[in-house]
């Protein structure tokens, strides 16, 4: 098979790129290791920056997002029983949209299918060949049958465990990583959200987050030691712990119920440099991971896709390769800022096993400074709603 852009990975990054390229007549084929249902079965976060919202509109995939997404003008950061209300729209002029990543991925699959987009599922043994030439190609198998795709460019949108990053030689690739000494135990419950905005809680018992999917589907998280197992956490134990970590006035309003999903996710910051090698470009989790505290995972993948789409469009429609040559540098500039914000939010809101009394006082002083200083609130808001592309 032959295509202009071969995309490895049928997650939100790969699908958004394929759809955007389609809108300007650039062909692509998406290779996905799992089935569509498996990909849509993954529970992921759900706060969209304006940049991601604009990209979905640009891709012509915004009808359900605009109809069902919740515009949030702000969020709450709580410090024990104290609530610090941050009004993003007042501080930056820009809100965020609460719309699950699973729904984003579902809408993108629908749009690709409607447009006759080529997606191969359950592919195996994907190998990228000749990325450093002007005629790269992929080989892979589907149910044991060997296949080949000749292309002009390869987009590695295959996540952290994909093949694309590994294709960049060790002596070229530099990796930066920070692993946090705790995880997030998250549940999904068919209960009304406890508050109309998200609440990020710092408490003596550790971090908690109150989030939502819709008017009767809530998402809650509590920080847990990495050694904890999901089986050790009954729903009652979860709700009891959550109530201890959120402000008392909020805990009183909390509607509890059986969890329909429960899982523990480790927290890590990770970046690989460079994000391109010859005609191979890395996007999203294939190149970088953020702890979820800043809601930057999907949104930083989106800015990668924006830069790569604009670069490929300029190449094919204007014969201008400056975007392609500058992709890695441009994407990394914004990636590192998202990494810093996510790392800062994680340090501000979690309790660390090795934290001493002085460290806790530092956290408290930072939270009080945030409460008392509008410029500090503005800086947080600017990062949360999304830095310009």
Q: Is 384 a catalytic residue?
A: yes
Q: Of 22, 262, 288, 296, which is the active-site residue?
A: 296
123 binds ligand APR (CB under 6 A): yes
Which listed option, ligand APR, ligand PHB, none, makes contact with residue 293 (CB within 5 to 8 Å by class)?
ligand PHB
296 belongs to the catalytic site: yes
Among 221, 292, 313, 330, which one carries the catalytic annotation? 292
**In the complex, what is the shortest distance from the CB of residue 362 to ligand APR, in angstroms, rounded to a whole number?**
28
Q: Which does 11 bind (CB under 5 to 8 A by kind): ligand PHB, ligand APR, none?
A: ligand APR
Least distance from ligand PHB to the Cβ atom of residue 383, Å: 12
Instruction: Select from ligand PHB, ligand APR, none the partner in contact with residue 163, using the beta carbon and a kind-dependent cut-off of 5 to 8 Å.
Output: ligand APR
Q: Which of 276, 283, 310 is CA-nearest to residue 298?
A: 283
**Residue 101 binds which entry of ligand APR, ligand PHB, none, CB below 5-8 Å type-dependent:** ligand APR
Q: Does 285 bind ligand APR (CB under 6 A)?
A: yes
Q: How far is the CB of 97 from ligand PHB (least distance, A)?
A: 12
Q: Determine whether 315 is an active site residue.
A: no
Catalytic residue (one of 22, 72, 195, 330): 72
Cβ nearer to ligand APR, comparing 243 with 344:
344
Beta bridge partners of 264: 185
SS (H, E, C) the chain: CECCEEEECCCHHHHHHHHHHHHCCCCEEEECCCCHHHHHCCCCCCEECHHHHHHHHHCCCCHHHHHHCEEECEEEEEECCEEEEEEHHHHHCCCEEECCHHHHHHHHHHHHHHCCCEEECCEEEEEEECCCCCCCEEEEEECCEEEEEECCEEEECCCCCCCHHHHCCCCCCEEEEEEEEEEEEEEEECCCCCCCCCEEEECCCCCEEEEEEECCEEEEEEEECCCCCHHHCCHHHHHHHHHHHCCHHHHCCCCCCCEEEEEEEEEEEEEEECCEECCEEECHHHCEECCHHHCCHHHHHHHHHHHHHHHHHHHHHHCCCHHHHHHHHHHHHHHHHHHHHHHHHHHHHCCCCCCCHHHHHHHHHHHHHHHHCHHHHHHHHHHHHCCCC
Interface mask toward ligand APR for 92-111; x: CB under 6 A: ---------x----------
As measured in angstroms, the least distance from the Cβ of 290 to ligand PHB is 10
- Angstrom CA distances, 250 to 76, 237, 254, 267, 363, stand at 11, 18, 7, 26, 22
Partner from ligand PHB, ligand APR, none contacting 312, C-beta within 5 to 8 A by type: none
39 binds, among ligand PHB, ligand APR, none (CB under 5 to 8 A by kind): ligand APR
Which CB atom, from 84 or from 155, has the smaller least distance to ligand APR?
155
Task: Give 4 or 214: the residue with its C-beta nearer to ligand PHB.
Answer: 214
Closest approach, Cβ 47 to ligand PHB, in A, equals: 5
Query: Two tokens at 146?
Result: 């060997």
Q: How far is the CB of 280 from ligand PHB (least distance, A)?
A: 30
Closest distance of CB 299 from ligand APR, Å: 8
* Binding partner selected for residue 297 from ligand PHB, ligand APR, none, CB under the kind-specific 5 to 8 Å limit: ligand APR
50-58 vs 297-318: helix crossing angle, rounded to 10: 40
Name the residues that contact ligand PHB, by CB under 6 A. 45-47, 198, 211, 219, 292-293, 295
Q: Which residues form the interface with ligand APR (CB under 6 A)?
A: 8-14, 31-34, 39, 44, 101, 123, 126, 157-159, 161-163, 284-285, 297-298, 301
Catalytic positions, please?
72, 200, 292, 296, 384
């Amino acid at each position: 098979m032959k295509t202009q852009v071969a995309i490895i990975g049928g997650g939100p990054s790969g699908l958004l790129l394929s759809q955007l390229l389609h809108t300007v007549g650039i062909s692509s084929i998406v290779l996905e290791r799992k089935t569509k249902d498996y990909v849509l079965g993954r529970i992921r976060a759900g706060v969209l920056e304006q940049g991601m919202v604009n990209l979905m509109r640009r891709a012509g995939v915004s009808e359900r997002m605009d109809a069902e997404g919740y515009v949030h003008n702000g969020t709450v950061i709580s410090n024990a029983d104290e609530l610090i209300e941050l009004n993003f729209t007042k501080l930056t002029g820009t809100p965020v949209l609460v719309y699950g990543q699973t729904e984003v991925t579902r809408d993108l699959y629908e749009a690709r299918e409607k447009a006759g987009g080529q997606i191969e599922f359950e592919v195996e043994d994907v190998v990228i060949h000749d990325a450093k030439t002007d005629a790269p190609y992929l080989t892979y198998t589907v149910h044991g049958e060997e296949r080949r795709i000749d292309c002009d460019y390869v987009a590695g949108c295959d996540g952290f465990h994909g093949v694309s990053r590994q294709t960049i030689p060790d002596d070229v690739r530099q990796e930066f990583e920070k692993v946090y000494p705790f995880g997030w135990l998250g549940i999904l419950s068919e209960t009304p959200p406890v508050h109309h905005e998200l609440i990020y809680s710092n408490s003596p018992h550790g971090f908690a987050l109150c989030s939502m999917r819709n008017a009767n589907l809530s998402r809650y998280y509590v920080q847990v030691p990495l050694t904890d197992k999901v089986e050790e956490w009954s729903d009652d134990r979860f709700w009891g712990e959550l109530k201890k970590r959120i402000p008392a006035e909020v805990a009183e309003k909390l509607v509890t119920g059986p969890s329909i999903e429960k899982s523990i996710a480790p927290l890590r910051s990770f970046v690989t440099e460079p994000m391109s090698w010859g005609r191979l470009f890395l996007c999203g989790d294939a190149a970088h991971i953020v702890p979820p505290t800043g809601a930057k995972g999907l949104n930083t993948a989106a800015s990668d896709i924006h830069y790569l789409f604009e670069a490929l469009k300029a190449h094919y429609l204007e014969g201008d390769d400056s975007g392609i040559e500058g992709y890695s540098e441009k994407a990394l500039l914004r990636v590192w800022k998202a990494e810093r914000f996510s790392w800062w939010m994680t340090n501000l809101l979690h309790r660390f096993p090795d934290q001493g009394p002085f460290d806790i006082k530092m956290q408290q002083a930072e939270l009080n400074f945030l409460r008392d200083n509008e410029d500090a609130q503005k800086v947080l808001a600017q990062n949360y709603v999304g830095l310009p592309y």
